[in-house]
Amino acid sequence: MKTYIFPGQGSQAKGMGEGLFEAFPDLVAKADAILGYSIKRLCLDNPEGKLRYTQYTQPALYVVNALTYFKKLRDGAPKPDFLAGHSLGEYNAILAAGGFDFETGLMLVKKRGELMSQASGGAMAAVVGLTEGEIKGVLVNNRLTEIDIANLNTTTQIVISGNKDDIDRAKLYFEREGADYIPLNVSAAFHSRHMQEAKEEFEQYLREFSYSELTIPVISNVTARPYNPAEIVPNLAEQLRSSVRWTDSIRYLIRQGGMEFEETGPGSVLTKIIAKIKVEPPVNQQRGSVGVRVTKSIDRKEEDTEGQAEFKRKIDTAFQKTTEWNQVYPIGTKVTCKGYEDVLITRTEAQVLFGHRAAVYVEGYNGYFALDEIRVV
């Protein structure tokens, strides 16, 4: 069993794609026409340092990832059993599975990069050394409730996303817990609730295109499970504001048995991350240990403590609800949902959104329902 994995932002580098552009002149010409500039020159020469800007990084990586995959097939490599991509890389996974053609994927990525580059006022930081539950404990105990978890790269390598002032303020609290805190060079709060406006605009754009059935299972960043039919648009739209559940995705693939991973694109970032996931002990990332390790938080007024306690109770209740639901009801459960007469089918496990809301996604509906709003048929 083999999975091809496609990298996202962070893997770009001057010189990437060398030798590929000459091998696929027709695709390179199409890319230049769509983008309005030379993709080869951008990747090989990085004029004016443009590769560090999101609106250039994303098309560049998409093209190099795609040409790398096409070169593998041309050289006789068999198609994989599964496909997965980290954030932007998911577009290459869908391309490889036949969900859209090269040009459509590039137009989508171009629009995505433009929208993300226009977002401002946000920031992101990598927190290394704490689990998801421990990170949520720090956020709750220090009233940083506007920060979301953006990327679950490994059990203890996690990226958070939020307003810049909150991200800057959070540094002290995480370092008090012994974590390494690494601000990222981005201008917006990607993969968080703060991308809602971009998500809505992008979804409208996504609906202007047609999509084909996936011929190879693609693992969704949003659900950490294979795409269901007709799920491309809601998944790619939701991906802008949802966590990249990379650890859960890789663990799902590993459970399929005898899985090999092959990074298909520039660099080896994902290969190194997967090697770490394989040796880390499994951790229930949804529940973690909220509030257990957080013993060094700055003292606050009594009313703050009461507010924290109330918010923590909401979190504990949400985690209890999702745990109980997932123990009884599998993906594909028939349900009725508040405000809808038709019977719907769940397309994800129950999960905690925004740190405190127990919810589940259903087929045919672009969004989630709180567990309190649904009934099993």
* Residues 6+ away with beta carbon under 8 Å from 178: 129, 130
Q: Catalytic residue among 86, 161, 191, 243, which?
A: 191
Q: Is 191 a catalytic residue?
A: yes
Quick check: 149 and 140 in contact, CB under 8 A?
Answer: no
Separation of first and last alpha carbons in the chain: 37
- Tokens for 318, please give them: 């949400």
Q: Catalytic residue among 11, 86, 87, 249, which?
A: 87
CA 46/CA 339 separation, integer angstroms: 52
Q: Is 86 a catalytic residue?
A: no
Nearest to 160 by CA among 247, 53, 243: 243
Whose tokens are 């190879």? That residue is 216
Reported as type and span, the H/E element at residue 368 is strand 368-370
DSSP string, 289-351: TTTTS---PPP--HHHHHHHHHHHHHHHHHHHHHHHHHHH--TT-EEEETT--S-EEB-S--E
Burial class of 3 by CB neighbour count within 10 A (0 to 12, 13 to 18, 19+): buried
Quick check: 166 and 200 in contact, CB under 8 A?
Answer: no
Backbone angles phi, psi at 179, to 5 degrees: -85, 150
CA 147/CA 140 separation, integer angstroms: 10
* Residues 6+ away with beta carbon under 8 Å from 42: 50, 51, 56, 60
Quick check: 356 and 310 in contact, CB under 8 A?
Answer: no
Q: What residues act catalytically? A: 87, 191
